[in-house]
Amino acid sequence: MNFEQLGHIIRERRNELSYSQEVLSDKSDVAIKTIHSIELGKANPSLKTLDKVLGVLGLELIVVSKKD
């Protein structure tokens, strides 16, 4: 789970819901600037920020054993 992958997942889900970044920003109470940085993989968000964004998208983080 690197930052680029995470950004793609968020962007794809956002597009599925037909939300603009601005709408997602409003719903999640996270700045649009932060959202597009996350989507581009250029951010290192805190868990709280990431949870707010994922929550609006019906997604969540879980911890699993790493398979290598």
Partner DNA sequence: TTTTAATAAGTATTATATTGCCGAATCATT
Partner DNA sequence: AATGATTCGGCAATATAATACTTATTAAAA
Binding site for a second copy (CB under 8 A): 1, 3, 6, 9, 44-48, 50-51, 54-55, 58-66
* Tokens read off for 47: 């868990």
User: How far is 17 from 2, CA to CA, in rounded Å?
Assistant: 23
- Please report whether residue 17 would count as binding DNA according to CB under 7 A: no
User: How far is 52 from 28, CA to CA, in rounded Å?
Assistant: 5
Q: 28 and 52 in contact (C-beta within 8 Å)? A: yes
Q: How far is the CB of 58 from DNA (least distance, A)?
A: 18
Q: Which one of a second copy, DNA, none interacts with residue 37, CB within 5 to 8 A by kind?
A: DNA
For binding to DNA (CB under 7 A), which residues are involved?
20-22, 29-34, 36-37, 39-40, 42-46, 48-50
